[in-house]
Chain A
């Protein structure tokens, strides 16, 4: 979809061999593939043959103050501007969307930052979401050994467990449980032989099912979730019965992110601000996507739901802070669940 003239960009990330390319090939072979441009970091062993395929030579610019998530991907700026130029000159089929396949170790945050802050790109492109592929056979090993794998899962909107046909049902189930704990807000699907609905790549941020995911209360509080071990990663899911004052909430969140942004790995939520529809909130570390106001609620549950993934911040401290702010916010938080994560 090309709403309001801004072309959606889906980032596809995941470890080497986790099935990113297979997923891309399936998508490009479908009718949607025709007006889709693809940017890849590496051509890989499995050749992709597509008329709008372009390679990114990773070239980054770290901004003056050295905040890592604000690294500008200069290569991405150039590649997207070139695509835009070709599109506007009519040199290619009108561009409906862009898929970006990143390297296995890439941090998606700088890519999100680049698209949403570049003075030209932010008017022509929008981030549709981040899709991560996790290999059912080696996923646990990658998560154990590489912190990058955990981070990719954390920032994803859609997690696709691939190669499920090559692993036992028990292995797949254990991996799914771990992924669900790492990122309760993401949509989690399992793919057999690369068979994934193209809509998963088109619309990874499916707000229709976001409420049940955010509100999921069946997850147990794991041992250690309340222990005071420093620098642990934990998820915290909150809900608010009464509508939130958006101005007060945004002041609180911006103050929190200024003080602790690097330790707020992820924030995702659907907020009732007293309007007809909810506000979708989506942030990765210091980067907050422009909040989107939906016309109507996707379901019957009209409470505000928020999920934080925190590194070294006590969930209890967050709850106490929101309680102290309740007179300004107009609502007080209820803890749906908190879990210690093993990144």
Chain B
């Protein structure tokens, strides 16, 4: 999926898709087990994203396991669907470029306090 244009065309972001060897089953398991795995992945994704976004003064909350609420310290919020929407929305809210190669960001990420959960 194109990370820039996917939202107009695709049914799901590539980070939330996983084709099994047999090609048609997404994440293999069925019913409640599949839903449980999906929620666990969302929890984990939110936790990781918050460790990145806190460097930009942003915070992400899961919204009913369907969307995410992205907010800044001034209380501005944006509802986003998945990673395809999170990055452009975060860039707009933070008013700066989000770049995983930027040395300052990487230095902050490597510090021990970056590993803690962001406060409320």
Q: Which of A4, A122, A287, A325 contacts B2 (CB 8 A)?
A: A287
Known: A5-B24, A259-B98. A291 touches B5 (CB 8 A): no
Residue B21 lies at the interface, judged by CB distance under 8 Å to chain A: yes
- How long is the Cα–Cα vector from A289 to B3 in the complex, in angstroms? 11
Is B4 part of the contact surface with A, judged by Cβ < 8 Å? Answer: yes
- Interfacial chain A residues near B88, Cβ < 8 Å: 258
Cα distance A75–B116 in the bound complex, in angstroms: 51
Q: Contacts A117-B1, A259-B99, A290-B18 known; A247 to B44 CB distance under 8 Å?
A: yes
Please give the distance in Å from B68's CB to the nearest CB on chain A. 12
Q: Is the CB of B2 within 8 A of A113?
A: yes
**Interface of A (DSSP majority class):** helix
Q: Are B41 and A247 in contact (CB under 8 A)?
A: yes
Please report the total number of A residues contacting B with Cβ < 8 Å: 52
The reply to whether B106 and A286 contact each other, CB–CB distance below 8 Å, is no
For B1, give its contact among A63, A65, A116 (CB under 8 Å): A116
CB atoms of A286 and B3 under 8 A apart: yes
- Whether A247 contacts B45 by the Cβ 8 Å rule is yes
How near does chain B come to A307, taking the closest CB pair, in angstroms? 18
**Per-position 1/0 for B41-56, Cβ under 8 A of A:** 1001100110110000
Known: A259-B100, A293-B19. A286 touches B41 (CB 8 A): no
CB distance A286 to B2 under 8 Å? yes
Distance in angstroms between the alpha carbons of A118 and B99 in the assembled complex: 30
Whether B101 pairs with A292 at a CB distance below 8 angstroms is no
CA distance in complex: A4, B25 (Å): 9
Mark contacts of B1-44 with chain A using CB atoms, 8 A cut-off: 1 yes-contact digit, 0 otherwise.
11111101111011101111111110010000000000001001
CB within 8 A of B48: which of A3, A116, A247, A258? Answer: A247
For the complex, is A69 an interface residue (Cβ under 8 Å from B)?
A: yes
Query: Which of A14-22, A189-197, A228-236, A314-322 is the contact stretch?
Result: A314-322
- A4 and B23 in contact, given A255-B100, A259-B97 (Cβ under 8 angstroms): yes
Q: Which residues of A contact B22 (CB under 8 A)?
A: 3-4
Residues of B within 8 A of A (CB): 1-6, 8-11, 13-15, 17-25, 28, 41, 44-45, 48-49, 51-52, 83-84, 87-88, 97-101, 103, 106-107, 109-110, 115
| 26 pairs of residues in contact across A and B, judged by CB atoms under 8 Å | A4-B23, A6-B23, A67-B4, A70-B2, A117-B1, A118-B9, A119-B9, A126-B23, A247-B41, A250-B14, A254-B84, A254-B87, A256-B100, A258-B87, A259-B87, A259-B99, A279-B18, A290-B14, A290-B19, A291-B18, A293-B18, A295-B21, A318-B101, A321-B101, A324-B106, A328-B48
Of all A-B residue pairs in the complex, the 7 with the closest CB atoms, nearest first, are: A4-B24, A4-B23, A324-B106, A250-B15, A258-B87, A117-B9, A70-B5
A residues with a Cβ closer than 8 A to B are 3-6, 63-65, 67, 69-70, 113, 116-119, 122, 126, 245, 247-248, 250-252, 254-261, 277, 279, 286-295, 313, 317-318, 320-321, 324-325, 327-328
- A3-B23, A122-B11 given; name 17 further pairs at CB < 8 Å: A5-B24, A117-B1, A117-B6, A119-B9, A122-B10, A126-B23, A247-B48, A255-B52, A258-B88, A260-B99, A279-B18, A287-B2, A295-B21, A313-B101, A318-B101, A321-B101, A325-B109
